[in-house]
């Protein structure tokens, strides 16, 4: 690949600026429907909005068993479990069930998520809560 001026501008950013640049790009410039496995093909935004808005109510480091502890079915956010792990919101534990192995070959299902301190503090960024 040939380096461009825009790549150099990105490389000149500080680490936090790079993080938020990538997060903003993912959040605003990516077609989330295309990130899903072809079986679903719908945007998981409403479910993700629910999860992210509830992160502030969760305890950082405490595993949330998705089938037991969440009030909404979130199995179909698939790879978004990974995407938000990459951004540091939580750690995802894969759901392992040999009876649905064929389904898991095409997608990702999480058994649990463990919110990080960063993910827990994320709702405070909108100014509605104050965490010390």
Average pLDDT (5-19) is: 93
The whole-angstrom separation of Cα 105 and Cα 112 is 19
Give the chain's mean pLDDT. Answer: 77
Residue 17 has pLDDT above 80, yes or no: yes
The string of pLDDT tens digits covering residues 30-50 is 888 777 766 555 566 777 777
Q: Where are the alpha helices (DSSP H) in the chain?
A: 5-11, 15-29, 45-54, 66-69, 80-86, 101-106, 117-121
Evaluate if pTM is beyond 0.85.
Answer: no
Cβ-based burial of 131 (10 A; exposed 0-12, middle 13-18, buried ≥19): exposed
Q: What is the CA radius of gyration of the chain?
A: 17
Question: Could you tell me the end-to-end alpha-carbon distance of the chain, in angstroms, rounded to an integer?
Answer: 45
Could you report the per-residue pLDDT of 74-115, keeping only the tens digit for each? 656 778 888 989 999 999 988 776 555 555 556 677 888 899
Res 131: pLDDT = 44
Domain ranges of the chain: 1-30, 31-126
Percent of the chain beyond pLDDT 90?
Answer: 24
Q: Are 27 and 84 in contact (CB under 8 A)?
A: no
């Amino acid at each position: 690949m040939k380096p461009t001026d825009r790549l150099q501008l990105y490389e000149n950013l500080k680490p936090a600026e790079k993080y938020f640049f990538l997060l903003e790009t993912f959040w605003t410039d990516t077609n989330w429907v295309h990130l899903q496995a072809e079986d679903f093909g719908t945007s998981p935004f409403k479910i993700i909005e629910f999860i992210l808005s509830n992160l502030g109510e969760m305890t950082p480091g405490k595993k949330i068993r998705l089938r037991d502890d969440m009030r909404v079915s979130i199995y179909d956010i698939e790879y978004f479990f990974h995407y938000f792990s990459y951004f540091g919101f939580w750690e995802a534990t894969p759901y392992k069930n040999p009876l649905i192995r064929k389904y898991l070959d095409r997608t990702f299902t999480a058994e649990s998520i463990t919110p990080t301190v960063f993910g827990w503090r994320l709702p405070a960024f909108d100014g509605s809560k104050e965490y010390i």
